[in-house]
Amino acid sequence: MRKIGVIGLGHVGATIAYTLVTKGIADELVLIDSKKDKAVAEEYDLRDTLSRLDTFTKIIPQNYAALADADIIITAFGDISAIQLDGDRFGELKHNITAVTEIAQKIKQTGFNGVLINISNPCDVITQLLQQKTGLSTNQVFGTGTFLDTARMQRAVGQALNEDPKNISGYVLGEHGESQFTAWSSVRVKGHPIQDIASARGLDLNDLDQRARRGGWLVFSGKHYTCYAIATCAIKLALAVLSDAHLACPTSVYLESYQHYIGYPSVIGRQGIIEVNKIELTLDEQNRLDSSAKIISTKLASFN
């Protein structure tokens, strides 16, 4: 019995819920939103799909107690209107800092002991607070972090080289925000170092890094929200937990060296974070990671 809870049914949470039901990933799905009418609306819209699907999902709305035996909780609460078109993800902090305390306490009261995957922004800060306030281990709680940003890098490189983005490997590291960066030393195209290809093809890696960033804002400026890519990231991570896949990918993971969460390679399995996948970085990349970590720690210090 695969049971998943989704807390926060905005564009992202609703897309995740729809995918879980239509792909038959969850046998039971708990839907929770701060607005009861929204949760009921999503419940009935999903119920109306069931007679046309090849699978069945039991849908449970607005019931925190039902999360007690869930395998996974995905948190996607937030206020997307708080993010300006030229701003960053810290725009949602004021709203989410209030929500995280209430939601974490309710999760804790259920006795939930599964894996919590956070999407809510600013992702690294909110993931840290959720872990602290729920009392779950740092292995059980992680965020989508730079998993999405890495996909955007793969898209940008793939477009530049006319390659399937799945043939691009490597990592975007750091804050899921303005201080993130592509660790180009880790990037390969069909196994070949990107630096060699960039040199041969006259590609500007700094420009590619900016194209990856701009892609997200192009989506946001046109739709005033993003949903498909981040929902797909969350689903892939949830599947890795359910199947104990030992998926190697970047997430917002707790690093002992920084004493907080940050986008970095990890391995995902049934218990959440199986291991931190330490990689070799250039001196410049390490310095950029350190700088990004300082931004996160500064924000976290204001809550202690």
In this prediction, residue 136 has a pLDDT band, given cuts at 50, 70 and 90, of very high
Which residues are the active-site residues? 176
Report pLDDT for 294. 97
CA neighbours within 13 Å on the CB side: how many for 114? 21
Can you say which residues are annotated as belonging to the binding site?
8-13, 33, 96, 119-121
- Tell how far CA 227 is from the center of its chain: 11
Can you say which residues are annotated as belonging to the binding site for NAD(+)?
8-13, 33, 96, 119-121
Residues in the chain: 304
Fold of the 3-145 domain: Rossmann fold (3.40.50)
**What is the C-alpha to C-alpha distance for residues 106 and 198, in angstroms, rounded to an integer?**
50
Mean pLDDT on 50-77: 98
Mean pLDDT on 292-303: 91
> What does each C-alpha distance from 88 to 37, 153, 230 come to in angstroms?
30, 18, 16
Question: With contact defined as beta carbons under 8 Å apart, do 144 and 262 qualify?
Answer: no
Both tokens of 105, joined, read 């306490």
Residue range 16-47, pLDDT digits in tens? 999 999 999 999 999 999 999 999 999 999 99
In this prediction, residue 96 has a pLDDT band, given cuts at 50, 70 and 90, of confident
Residue range 236-247, pLDDT digits in tens? 999 999 999 999
Peptide bond into 122 cis (omega under 30): yes
In this prediction, residue 186 has a pLDDT band, given cuts at 50, 70 and 90, of very high
